Structure 1
Amino acid sequence: MNTTARYAAAVLALLLMTGCATASSAVPARERPADAPLTVRVDSGRLHGVATGKARRFLGVPYAKPPTGALRWAPPQPPEPWDGVREATASGSKCPQSTPGAKPSTNEDCLFLDVTTPRRQAPGTKLPVMVWWHGGGFTRDSGSDYNAERMAEQGDVIVVTVNYRLGILGYLGLPGLPGSGNFGFADQIATLKWARRNAAAFGGDPDNLTVFGQSAGAMSACALLTSPAAEGLVDKAVISSGSCRLDWPTGGLFPGAPAHSPYVPLRRGQGDGLAAARELGCAEGEELACLRSKPVAELLPKTQQFADHLAHGTALLPVHPATALRTGAFAKVPVISGGNHDEARSFVAGAMAFDPKLITARTYPELLRRAFGDRADEVGARYPLSKYPSAGLAWATVTTDRSWACRTLAGNRQFAAHTTVYPYEFADPDAPDVNQLRVPEVPQGAAHATELPSLFDLHGVDLLRGGPQRELSRQLTGYWTRFAHTGNPNHDGAPHWPSMPKATPGAAGAAGAAGAAGDRVLRFVPGAVASADFAADHQCRFWDTFDPVNARGAAGRD
């Protein structure tokens, strides 16, 4: 990986790691006559949790053996049973990762999850189970960063937040290594199986499981729907800022970075693994044994080379997820799918903070040329510098529309041809600045990850400000948790959220027979949750001409 690409991966991972939130009751309040028990039995043994003012929590629960020694780069194995009662009152270690400004985490014994339930439950309760897959560019973050107490209590759901292997430890590939490129993905799947097996212990319904994720977690959740492992495992999915169709043209994620998607062919993944082994001094033919012998601290400098590196052409992910969407080869479960109005502003601001000379009025035409080749002038005419206060804001709008918004719309059209899809956009112009970027030329608005404070408290901190944001959080969490209960997010007291119409392949118009209705989403803005013309706002009819079959849900480049 060249130096520019490594900088890009580092900025991406930093930006994808943030999140925070709150919740709202989406279902009629149940009568809960007593506190739920703090000691429960799961399939590995008994757990003793902790009660808070709102919730009951079981923290640091192992769902697999430590992936160390011979289990480093092996599929997850069931945890060892324990005798007696295990204290589940503190979260487990984060999976190995490096975070700027913080001491690296190097503990491979990290395959833990946290379970959060309402504090009070009626006997015989069977609540929906929601399993959260965090973002972080496949290289950073942990489930324990997302406090789900408000969601569990107000939405009357059980929330399971999980760790999974990251970076080189999660996505390394080598020729002949079973599970190559999929170890983190296999961990995620293992969390769903754990949740199904153990839901009843917490008052949950093992036959009502929703996977939901953001960014890397959403890319994984979308990929899961295209995996043979999904059959009978998940009942619903929420995909936030992570469509199966997501990809970036040259420079689209970071100036100078090559065009890529989050999903890589197995052969490329194996080649990247061999290259990393060479860089770490491993001899040919001895790569796996050599890498397993190395301390985590020696591996971590290579982990950014495995950002956005989920392998396809494998048993868990036979084809590129975009191909699976195109052909209809995915689990036909209800889906919520969407993203944020200003996704790319965080990435652009991060690049400008790194080097202000990367994105300027002078470099803007070259950025367009590298990304769009002989159609650069067309894009420049659609997004002229004269229309924007800064070159950074112009480039952020181009990359938001092309790579995030319109690719998500294309994926949603393909989902809607086979199942029920509820499309949305988070668009709070004053959303909490979870990315902590201070670049005046690129105000963050509803940038990547800024919706997360409406769903979780990051590290237990509530970042919401004022009544309108709290009401938006109440609405957003209400939709998410009602969807977990029934597969339909609509509920009393909330604006109606229509599902996406099914487009007719080959019909006239950019969205086929669905027409303008198929281009609309429910837009979340404080005090103004309403239907909006998503395709018009993000110029998706223009971007469809770069990949015309997007319009009828057929497919573009995989």
Structure 2
Amino acid sequence: MVAPAPSGSTRALYRAPVRFVVVVFLLLAASACASSDAAVGGDSVVRTASGQVRGTVAEDYRLFQGIPYAAPPVGERRWQPPAAPEPWLGERDATKPAPRCPQDKPADGAATSENCLSLNVWTPKTATRLPVLVWIHGGAFVNGGGDRYDARDLATRGDEVVVTVNYRLGALGFLADPALAPSGEAGNYGLQDQQQALRWVRDNIEAFGGDPGAVTIAGQSAGGISVCDHLVAPGSRGLFRAAVIQSGPCQAQATLAGAVKSSVDYSSRHGCADRATAAACLRALPAADLLDAPQFFAVAGIGMPGPVVGGSVLPVAPLDGFRRGAAVPVPVVVGTTHDEFTYFLAEQVAATKKPVTPDRYVAALTSVFGDGASVASHYPLALFGGDASRAYAAAVTDSGFSCAAQDMATALAARAPVWAYEFNDPTSPAAATIHAPFPLGASHTFELPYLFRFDGQVGPLDPAQQRLSDRMIAAWTGFVRSGAPPVWPRFGAVQTFRADGVAVTKSFAADHRCAFWSGFTRH
């Protein structure tokens, strides 16, 4: 005779004690071994607080990929703050990348999944109490992934541990519909993922040979904006000792009211207009239906989602916080590329087939700034060889990136050491990945191949570029090790990285017309 199957509640009672004992055992065992010195001597297996991971050991570095730093944000955990990762038995394979977070058409065809909250750890072959660089990828908060950034050179030549992170993107990372958090704060899930990753680093990086007390956070573009947010976010305090902001227009932040409106409209467009059932409706949608992102703010007319200012996660906008002295007082490197906006303009022209022509120049400026004639008077076409695209891109670069970085550096330097740089190598191999009917100059993202490898995506460096890469890696890793870039004056001057050498300039503000932009009011 077969005994009747236990009811759902009875099954839960039968399982709970066993599962509890197993989980507690795993946590205690992993915790006891997490800081073992044996893990840092070139072994392919490292014990973390959640379990063992088996990575790859190469000739001069080790790489551990796809390590979960949080529980999968799926089902009821979709649009919830990240939870701690669940322990596992045995060795977890960490020899290949985990899926990236859901995004529309990843540039290199990488796999995506909602179960994406993972990170990658690069170390020298042997490592003991080395400084740590945590890299936050860019991609307008809608695309990208930590696995794109091959950090072996930063790790081996800088004698440091490098961590690259995935975090939730687009609607899944930043939707601020109040229905999703009736008793709390909606939005900022991707930013909280980054904080959870930093907590994982604090608790686990010693097992990989890193020093949890010597963490530098760095990011480019949306990653740079994220670094700005961490400088003023209460939940990020104490998790890093220095920061690098690369091409981050940190003045562009979403207000809570604007994000809520955009998010509610987004929910309605996706069939979840009823406020009483919106949360359940949204969580029932396939991730593939949520790849279009709400737009909370714009940088030079380019809309994107992102972190929301207001509430406990991000109570103040970064630039306001910097000016008020609310940023954590740590050493900071702030930098831009000389021609940031040509990258975005090239994308716009490719999509619309409408380049900026001389007869459309003032109108194009007006669409962004309101008073296009005033801007055109400071950016006359004659200074750009009559090329309206170059002139337009220069105006947007200066207002949205260069002078914004100057403002950030000025505010931060009132309380902590700051170093500023400009990347100005128009020969970057990244240029080959972008097609434009005008010169790109040293555009957005163009410095990245000098710090990371993008094998199969970006061509190799020539000898002059390799020398520039050597200088930049030495500067970045020197900052991570000591909190001060080697042979680089503090802000007041700007370090310029060029293919023909490295120079120091005190004319950065004048070159980018920052006096004009400081007094300019958009209409």
TM tier, smaller: 0.7 to 0.9
Q: Deviations over 1:123-156 (max 9, x none)?
A: xx21001100000000001000111111101110
Q: Is the 8 A contact 1:106 1:296 kept in 2?
A: no
Q: Hey, what does 1:274 align to over in structure 2?
A: 264
Q: Hey, what does 1:149 align to over in structure 2?
A: 152
Partners of 2:343 and 2:434 lie apart in 1 by: 7
Q: Is the 8 A contact 1:129 1:484 kept in 2?
A: yes
Q: Deviations over 1:417-455 (max 9, x none)?
A: 111001000001211235722223x21221000000011
1:521 and 2:511 correspond: no
Matching residue's letter, 1:292: R
1:264 and 2:261 correspond: no
Q: Hey, what does 1:294 align to over in structure 2?
A: 285
- Rate the CA distance shift 1:188–1:434 in 2: closer, same or farther, 3 A: farther
Partners of 1:333 and 1:216 lie apart in 2 by: 20
CA apart distance, 1:46: 1.1
Q: Hey, what does 1:536 align to over in structure 2?
A: 510
Superposition pairs of residues 5-16 of structure 1, within 5 angstroms: none
Q: Deviations over 1:290-310 (max 9, x none)?
A: 000011111113466782431
Equivalent position to 1:164, from 167, 173, 191: 167
CA RMSD of aligned residues (A): 2.0
Partners of 1:61 and 1:444 lie apart in 2 by: 37
CA apart distance, 1:355: 2.5
Q: Hey, what does 1:403 align to over in structure 2?
A: 400
Q: Is the 8 A contact 1:425 1:522 kept in 2?
A: yes
1:384 and 2:375 correspond: no
Q: Hey, what does 1:240 align to over in structure 2?
A: 246
Identical aligned residues as a percent: 40
3-state SS in 2 of match to 1:425: strand
Q: Hey, what does 1:216 align to over in structure 2?
A: 222
Equivalent position to 2:207, from 201, 209, 227: 201
3-state SS in 2 of match to 1:336: strand
Q: Is the 8 A contact 1:426 1:451 kept in 2?
A: yes
Partners of 2:112 and 2:42 lie apart in 1 by: 36
Q: Hey, what does 2:84 align to over in structure 1?
A: 78
- Rate the CA distance shift 1:111–1:460 in 2: closer, same or farther, 3 A: farther
Matching residue's letter, 2:331: P
Equivalent position to 1:96, from 90, 99, 102: 102
Q: Deviations over 1:89-142 (max 9, x none)?
A: 111111000127776855100011110000134xxx210011000000000010
1:497 and 2:488 correspond: yes
Q: Is the 8 A contact 2:429 2:458 kept in 1?
A: no
Q: Hey, what does 1:487 align to over in structure 2?
A: 483
Equivalent position to 1:327, from 316, 324, 328: 324
Partners of 1:378 and 1:485 lie apart in 2 by: 46
Matching residue's letter, 1:402: S
Q: Hey, what does 1:21 align to over in structure 2?
A: none
Partners of 1:145 and 1:104 lie apart in 2 by: 9
Q: Is the 8 A contact 1:222 1:244 kept in 2?
A: yes
- Rate the CA distance shift 1:352–1:116 in 2: closer, same or farther, 3 A: same
Give TM-score scaled by structure 2 length.
0.86
1:47 and 2:36 correspond: no
Q: Deviations over 1:443-468 (max 9, x none)?
A: 12210000000111125766342111
Q: Hey, what does 2:137 align to over in structure 1?
A: 134
Q: Deviations over 1:479-508 (max 9, x none)?
A: 111111110111xxxxx21112xxxxxxxx
Matching residue's letter, 2:498: V
- Rate the CA distance shift 1:179–1:153 in 2: closer, same or farther, 3 A: farther
Equivalent position to 1:363, from 360, 363, 380: 360
Matching residue's letter, 2:221: S
3-state SS in 2 of match to 1:363: helix
CA apart distance, 1:366: 1.2
CA apart distance, 1:373: 3.4
Matching residue's letter, 2:95: T
Partners of 1:434 and 1:112 lie apart in 2 by: 30
CA apart distance, 1:35: 5.4
- Rate the CA distance shift 1:344–1:240 in 2: closer, same or farther, 3 A: same
- Rate the CA distance shift 1:273–1:304 in 2: closer, same or farther, 3 A: closer
Partners of 1:307 and 1:104 lie apart in 2 by: 22
CA apart distance, 1:371: 3.3
3-state SS in 1 of match to 2:88: coil
Partners of 1:220 and 1:460 lie apart in 2 by: 28
Matching residue's letter, 2:462: G
Q: Is the 8 A contact 2:339 2:442 kept in 1?
A: yes
Partners of 2:47 and 2:104 lie apart in 1 by: 35
Superposition pairs of residues 428-467 of structure 1, within 5 angstroms: 428-434=425-431, 436-440=433-437, 442-458=438-454, 463-467=459-463
Deviates more, 1:176-185 or 1:93-102: 93-102
- Rate the CA distance shift 1:145–1:179 in 2: closer, same or farther, 3 A: farther
1:65 and 2:61 correspond: no
Q: Is the 8 A contact 1:147 1:460 kept in 2?
A: no
Q: Hey, what does 1:477 align to over in structure 2?
A: 473
Deviates more, 1:357-366 or 1:428-437: 428-437
* Structure (1 or 2) with the larger CA radius of gyration: 2
Partners of 2:281 and 2:165 lie apart in 1 by: 29
Q: Is the 8 A contact 1:349 1:392 kept in 2?
A: no
Deviates more, 1:480-489 or 1:537-546: 537-546
Length, aligned pairs only = 472
Q: Is the 8 A contact 2:244 2:334 kept in 1?
A: yes
- Rate the CA distance shift 1:232–1:47 in 2: closer, same or farther, 3 A: same
CA apart distance, 1:66: 0.5
Partners of 2:430 and 2:458 lie apart in 1 by: 12
Q: Hey, what does 2:36 align to over in structure 1?
A: none
CA apart distance, 1:545: 2.2
Partners of 1:466 and 1:357 lie apart in 2 by: 34
CA apart distance, 1:61: 0.4
Give TM-score scaled by structure 1 length.
0.81
CA apart distance, 1:244: 2.4
CA apart distance, 1:524: 0.2
1:352 and 2:358 correspond: no
Partners of 2:117 and 2:432 lie apart in 1 by: 26
**Gap runs ≥5 in structure 2:** 1-39, 297-302
